Amino acid sequence: RELREMLGDRFDVVTMREMGLTLDVDETGETFEENALLKAQALMDVAHCATLADDSGLCVEALGGRPGVHSARYCGVHGDDEANNRLLLKELENVPEPRRAHYGAAIALCRPGHEPIIVYGRCDGEILREYRGEGGFGYDPLFLSNDLGVTFAEADPEAKNRVSHRAAAIRALLEQLEAEE
């Protein structure tokens, strides 16, 4: 959804669901780039067309980059945002401000007959001690964006999409594609 909005009219973006495909790829990579590539290659093998996949998460400086590639399942249960946020706050309880962090996103583009293109984008901020905002998902109520001065949960979706890690990765991908022309 987010990728489609950011790519705009430049590409005909079709989701796996729209293609009638289901694919469960084990995210065994140690980096966002590795996981994005695993997903894009697996999808290209099934769909036989150009594919785009991403992997993203939150990296907290005081935690050595965790939760990182385990962001969605940090608490041990995939997709339990509330439990992930509680664990993050507990682990940062005694860490003084600023509690620097960044969202990172890797996007892999795989095309038959071409080398994959893998790009990375990030947006910097810090982790607050309490939730702010109702929008977004995941760690958004705790992530105070350096660029926006509000949490991603408080941010207008269009503003968030302009400064997000995915937006930075999409810009990098478009630059690489333009350089190929």
Q: Is 55 a catalytic residue?
A: yes
In angstroms, rounded to a whole number, what is the distance separating the alpha carbons of residues 158 and 136?
A: 12
Residue with tokens 């980096």: 31
In angstroms, rounded to a whole number, what is the distance separating the alpha carbons of residues 123 and 145?
A: 7
In angstroms, rounded to a whole number, what is the distance separating the alpha carbons of residues 91 and 83?
A: 12
List 12, 55, 81, 156, catalytic entry: 55
The first and second tokens of residue 73, run together, are 């399942």
In angstroms, rounded to a whole number, what is the distance separating the alpha carbons of residues 129 and 143?
A: 10
In angstroms, rounded to a whole number, what is the distance separating the alpha carbons of residues 94 and 54?
A: 33
* φ and ψ at residue 52, rounded to 5 degrees: -130, 130
Give the catalytic positions in this structure.
55
